[in-house]
Amino acid sequence: MEPFVVQKVDQLCQLLEQAKGRGLPVNLRDAYFAFSQDIVKQYGFGYDENLLGDAERAAAARENLDAFMLKSHFNVHFGWMNFPLAILPQNVIKIIAPGLDEFMQFGKVCFPFYGFHCVQLLLKLAQ
């Protein structure tokens, strides 16, 4: 795991150096989010999304997670809503529950054989 973390640290440093050389600002909130997500997903799930290599994707993922977490208190009181949400088409989920789509896509990549059970687990973890 250490080589992977060192690689991500180097990638983050390189991102900052490139921005400095071009005189461009870096959204540190997105950069550190991408850095931590890449490490956590690799360590926990064996999946490197490489958010650090795609600033737009990192910003979208962070915004989706923020939106999802703002509404996660709803799941505590209305947990029965998880099943109907999980069986809806992806384009409907993007409209109804921004951020949930991010979790569902991640679940499909990391746990393809578990299907709905993975979505339930991710929803439970978000509570």
Give 97-123 pLDDT, tens digit per residue.
Answer: 666 666 666 666 555 544 445 555 555
Is the CB of residue 49 less than 8 Å from the CB of residue 41?
yes
Q: Is residue 93 part of a domain?
A: yes
Residues 79 and 38 in one domain: no
59 occurs within a structural domain: no
Residue 122 domain boundaries: 65-127
Q: What is the pTM (predicted TM-score) of this model?
A: 0.62
Is 16 inside a domain boundary?
Answer: yes
> Tokens 């991408």 identify what position?
34
What's the pLDDT tens digit per position in 72-85?
677 677 777 767 76
Kindly state whether residues 76 and 123 are assigned to the same domain. Answer: yes
6 assigned to some structural domain = yes
58, part of any domain? no
Q: Per residue in 83-112, is it b (16+ CB within 10 Å) or e — as a string? A: eebbeeeeeebbeebbbbbbbbebbeebbe
The number of domains in the chain is: 2
Q: Both 36 and 73 in a single domain?
A: no
